Amino acid sequence: MDFSKVKGKFFFNNKFLDSPKATIPILNHSLHFAGAVFEGIRVYSRKPFYLKEHLDRLRASCELMELDLNLSRKELKEIIYKLININSINDGYIRPIVFRDSNSMSPDTRLCKSQIFIAIWNWKLLFEEEAISLCVAKYKKANNLFFPIEAKSSGSYQASIIEKIIASKKGFDDSLMLDSKNNIAETTACNIFWIKKNIVYTPKTHSILNGITRQIVIKILNEKGIKIIEGDFKLNHIKNADEIFVTGTATEIIKVGRLENKVNYKDKIIKFLKKEFKKLKDES
């Protein structure tokens, strides 16, 4: 999909613009210095899913990255609902992004102002397959010693993009990334879970983005009395799993059917979680 050709209305500079007119200069500070934060929000049956949580995280990301979000949550909600209506989006995806303007071409941002852009389009799932394959990444996931990992920022995806390209060249769908101590972290853009003897495991949040879908899955597990352990785990722990799955707004919940050379993982609990997640979608 060529996203430069998405049709419809976008929100930029406090206006609803035809998508071809919603552009920024090449000499934009955030384009050159990775100073942007963003969100991905699903639309199901014309309603944004977990909108409050996404907007709260957008604001928190702005604060961590020293960006100004000059719109209230109420104003953002009104803009998003208007975009859904004027673009006739039934099941789609919303991408708000906050970034600096072009008043600097150095790390000095004192003259820069923050801008917000909100795009929307019809989109299904990131992966169309029933299950995906993972290789193990070379590059590590950073932590708060390097930058604010809690922010959903453009700069935090640099290694992920490289690893996604490498995974594709190797014939895999994605890469499983480790943290600086060689503990399991997440994939290039998704959180990861695995099951051993009916216990669910997932990494701690010190080197991952605490995804909204991740939080939903943990809540479902707790409400249903399924034991979940968050911790630091080495690669061998997941290789011996009964089931593996990844989560994300663009992905929802999807099974991992292959990790490196091991295949044929099961999906009993995964199917249950997908059923419960669908209930939440239908109720939203």
Mean pLDDT across 98-103: 98
Distance between CA 152 and CA 168 in Å, rounded?
A: 24
What are 107-119's pLDDT values in tens digits? Answer: 999 999 999 999 9
**CATH for 3-122?**
3.30.470.10
What pLDDT was estimated at residue 218? 98
* Positive/negative CA dihedral, 197, 233, 278, 132: negative
| Furthest-apart CA atoms within the chain: distance in Å | 56
Spatial CA neighbour of 80 closest among 91, 94, 69: 94
Token digits of residue 18: 């035809």
- Looking at domain 131-283, its CATH class is alpha beta
What value does the CA radius of gyration of the chain take, rounded to a whole number of Å?
19
Buried b (16+ CB within 10 A) or exposed e, 74-84: eebeebbeebb
What are 185-227's pLDDT values in tens digits? Answer: 999 999 999 999 999 999 999 999 999 999 999 999 999 999 9
Mean pLDDT across 227-256: 96
What are 2-42's pLDDT values in tens digits? Answer: 889 999 999 998 999 999 999 999 999 999 999 999 999 99
Mean pLDDT across 179-184: 97
What pLDDT was estimated at residue 26? 97
Q: What is the mean pLDDT of the chain?
A: 96
What pLDDT was estimated at residue 28? 98
Sequence ranges of the domains in the chain:
3-122, 131-283
